[in-house]
Amino acid sequence: MTGYVAAPSATSSQRMSALAAALVMAVGMGFGRFAFTGLYPLMVHEGLLTVSDGTLAASANYAGYLLGALLAARLTPARARFWSIAAVLMTCLCLAALAVLHQPWMIVVVRGVAGLFSALSMVSASLWLLQHRAQAHSAPLLYAGVGIGILLSAELLALGEAFGLQSPGLWLGLALAALLIGVAGIVGLDPAPATSNKTHPQHDSWHTLPMGAWCLILIYGLAGFGYIVTATYLPLLVKNVLGPVNPIHVWAIFGLGAAPSCYLWHKLHRVLGTHKALRLNLLTQALGVVLPVLSPNAFGYMGSALIVGGTFVGTVTIAMPAARRVAHTLKVNMLAAMTAAYGVGQIVGPLVASYLYAASGAFTSSLIAAALALGVGAVLTVELNTGN
């Protein structure tokens, strides 16, 4: 089949709802989850963290993300607004805390807490918009919020560095910017549910999940493994390649590719269906991940940032609405289950990368392994059964 029918035209109220949820996503994911990637090299340069400390902080964030997804497993659409607000406020608090806490173990703890609320922002904003407000057609704008948050936070960091700010000042600036963006999003979170928001659960436990649901969860976990090496180490990988250009701008390219790509992948999802669109997405992403291996120069790294940035949120844009359709026949919170699988992939990815880097002294084998994981995910799309 060619996918689901054309989405209805969004009303002004629906667009405002989608924008509000996107701003929650921008804060919880773009700022809270990914700003550390841009600041990590600077904090190492300043002596606040060693490379080992940074890896621990990143691992704590991934573990927190997994824990947040597990805690969100029983989250209902009716409670999604409350947790969206909590995720925004706690993310801002975590950003501000990093401006004043300079002990490595404290930074690791804060990054763990930030990861927890990043996952809650992903699940709660998705539940609120896709199920509570019944706006599956607004998924592109919702998930574009991740790329917008990455782009804005990266360019704010570059601007702050240009004015000579050190990492504490940069974290404080990010906290203030996130608070402004988050408050704008919170104001637009309508507590009223859509009148057609009804589900008919039939299955009671993980043991009765249909094969299509398990397959979608597994593919999503492989996607988490596949993108995370690039998303974690990109600024470190390019620091000696771009000459005088601040590597943070390459991270901004990652976000610049992510924001508009949601619309492209949503369109392809409608035309091709979940199976083919997700397969194309994962194969394209694999090419982006391995591009620095094929072309280890400025072109390869910038191309990788654009391609991986332009596909990793596209995976979310395809998979989460597909999960929502499956969720209508389940009592299991599919959005939380998939976020948890993604979290597992994000934890395993850096562990594998660290092991392979220790063995080879380079990230080449790590990038190849990540690309292979995405390739396996693409093959598994053949087994999907998501209602389209």
Mean pLDDT of 79-93: 96
pLDDT at residue 239 above 70? no
pLDDT of amino acid 383: 77
Q: What is the percentage of the chain residues whose pLDDT exceeds 70?
A: 87
In this prediction, residue 84 has a pLDDT band, given cuts at 50, 70 and 90, of very high
DSSP state of 330: B
pLDDT digits (tens, 9 = 90+) for 247-266: 787 888 888 888 889 999 99
Residue 187 near residue 114 (C-beta atoms within 8 A): no
Beta bridge partners of 374: none
Residue 20 near residue 188 (C-beta atoms within 8 A): yes
Residue 335 near residue 320 (C-beta atoms within 8 A): yes
pLDDT digits (tens, 9 = 90+) for 282-332: 999 999 999 999 998 888 888 998 999 999 999 988 988 887 766 555 556
User: Greater confidence, 361 or 346?
Assistant: 346
CA distances (Å), origin 100, targets 42, 64, 109, 176, 373: 16, 21, 14, 14, 39
pLDDT at residue 4 above 60? no
pLDDT digits (tens, 9 = 90+) for 158-188: 999 989 999 999 999 999 999 999 999 999 9
How far apart CA 268 and CA 261 sit, in angstroms, is 11
pLDDT of amino acid 208: 44
Mean pLDDT of 366-379: 94
Q: Rounded to 5 degrees, what are φ and ψ at 204? A: -105, -20
pLDDT digits (tens, 9 = 90+) for 105-140: 999 999 999 999 999 999 999 999 988 888 888 889
Residue 37 near residue 251 (C-beta atoms within 8 A): yes
In this prediction, residue 211 has a pLDDT band, given cuts at 50, 70 and 90, of low
Q: How many other C-beta atoms can be found within 10 angstroms of the C-beta atom of residue 379?
A: 13
Q: 56-60, 130-134, 332-336, 346-350: lowest mean pLDDT where?
A: 332-336
Residue 118 near residue 65 (C-beta atoms within 8 A): yes
DSSP state of 240: T
**Looking only at Cα atoms, what is the longest distance across the chain?**
59
**What homologous superfamily does CATH list for 14-191+201-383?**
MFS general substrate transporter like domains (1.20.1250.20)
String of DSSP letters for 64-78: HHHHHHHHGGG--GG
Mean pLDDT computed over every residue of the chain: 85
Buried b (16+ CB within 10 A) or exposed e, 150-172: bbbbbbbbbebbeeebebbebbb
Mean pLDDT of 335-359: 84
